[in-house]
């Protein structure tokens, strides 16, 4: 059987799940003299997350990191399903899917490194940023042309919403 093009999966996606470091951020961590760890996130990724939520998609974040600033940023965008400190991401994935009655085949997951590998093997559309590690690129059905923290999240969200007719460019009423 020939493997389907990733585009054939886009119309069935109802849920986006993202890793944080290396996906929503570029993976760089700035450490202050007090030990605080700072990350940067791209505003275009944030806009896409808000747009997906407003279009009725479910959005979840599963990260091994524990930075509460990440939670504050994501909650500010409207993301409520946030799992931080996830060392075995399969547990959080299964909890999220079961509690929301979501089928794995309707999930797009974007990860970039080895901790994402087991989860990506279980879902319908595994994706990654351009700068993901080779093992993750090898199991991804789509590799974004954008790097992590530089629009990769926007890339996949926009593609799904366009295929489903939910990225219509009429944002004036929603984003005044």
- Other Cβ atoms within 10 Å of 41 Cβ, number: 20
Residue 170 has a pLDDT of: 54
Q: Domains in the chain and their CATH numbers?
A: 10-103+116-163 (3.40.50.1000)
Q: Find the helix packing angle between 43-54 and 152-163, rounded to 10°.
A: 30
Residue 157 has a pLDDT of: 97
Residue 125 has a pLDDT of: 97
- State which H helix or E strand residue 37 sits in: strand 37-38
Under 8 Å between Cβ of 50 and 78: yes
3-class secondary structure per residue, 122-143: CCCEEEECCCCCHHHHHHCCEE
Distance CA 74, CA 143 (A): 23
Ramachandran class of 65: left when φ > 0, alpha when ψ lies in -120 to 50, beta otherwise? beta
Which residues, in sequence order, are bridge partners of residue 107?
Answer: 15
Tens of pLDDT, residue by residue over 43-58, are 999 999 999 999 999 9
Distance CA 146, CA 130 (A): 5
3-class secondary structure per residue, 148-160: CCCCHHHHHHHHH
Q: Note the residue count of the chain.
A: 176
- State which H helix or E strand residue 94 sits in: helix 89-99
Give the residue ranges of the chain where pLDDT is below 50.
1-2, 173-176
């Amino acid at each position: 059987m020939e493997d389907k093009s990733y585009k054939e999966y886009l119309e069935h996606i109802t849920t986006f799940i993202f890793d944080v470091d290396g996906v929503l951020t570029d993976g760089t961590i700035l450490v202050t003299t007090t030990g605080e760890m700072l990350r940067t996130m791209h505003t275009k990724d944030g806009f896409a997350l808000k747009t997906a939520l407003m279009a009725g998609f479910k959005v979840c974040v599963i990260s091994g990191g524990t930075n509460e600033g990440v939670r504050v940023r994501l909650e500010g965008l409207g993301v409520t399903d946030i799992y931080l400190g996830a060392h075995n991401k399969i547990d959080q994935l299964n909890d999220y899917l079961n509690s929301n009655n979501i089928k794995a085949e309707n999930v797009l997951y974007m990860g970039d490194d080895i901790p994402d590998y087991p989860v990506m093997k279980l879902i319908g559309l595994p994706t990654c940023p351009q700068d993901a590690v080779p093992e993750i690129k090898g199991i991804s059905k789509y590799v974004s042309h954008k790097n992590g923290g530089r629009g990769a999240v926007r890339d996949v969200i926009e593609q799904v919403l366009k295929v489903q007719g939910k990225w219509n460019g009429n944002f004036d009423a929603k984003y005044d």
